[in-house]
Amino acid sequence: MPIVSISEAARLAGISRSTLYRVYIRSGKISTVENDRGQPGIDTSELARVFKVLPGVATDATESDSMLHVQEQSDTVAKDAEVAHLRELIAVREEELARALEEIRWLRGKVDALEQKQLAGPGIKRRWWWPW
């Protein structure tokens, strides 16, 4: 297989040079080789291995590829619908939680009022200097 420059490899892969360096070469996903002039390059077989189908190279689309693409799109649509449904469920649960917290605050107020009444007692008149 021919060896292409880093810039040409990035063009064939459909990504920027910096992305090719940062994500693929530095992390070791793609290995580089030196060409006959001692400059770094990438073997096209490495590009084909990592990117499966190179966007910059013309290929024949088969029926199985198009069926796979349609299936991936339907999977994406189904997952998007599921995410939307789950977000609705979260919103409903948050509303229920807010209502429950408000009810708890109201009940605490009632309990505090009843405790004040109980502390004062039925036969004891509350004095102005008492803190409760």
pLDDT in tens, 59-110: 444 555 666 676 777 788 888 899 999 999 999 999 999 999 999 999 999 9
pTM as predicted: 0.40
SS3 86: helix
Edge-to-edge strand ranges of the sheet holding 40-43: 3-5, 40-43, 33-34
Q: What is the reported pLDDT for 58?
A: 45
Tell which CATH architecture fits domain 3-51: Orthogonal Bundle (1.10)
* Alpha-carbon distances, residue 22 vs 12, 17, 34, 56, 67 (angstroms): 17, 9, 19, 20, 33
Give the C-alpha separation, 70 to 73, whole Å: 5
* Alpha-carbon distances, residue 45 vs 26, 31, 49, 54 (angstroms): 18, 11, 6, 11
Closest CA to 43 of 9, 19, 67, 76: 9
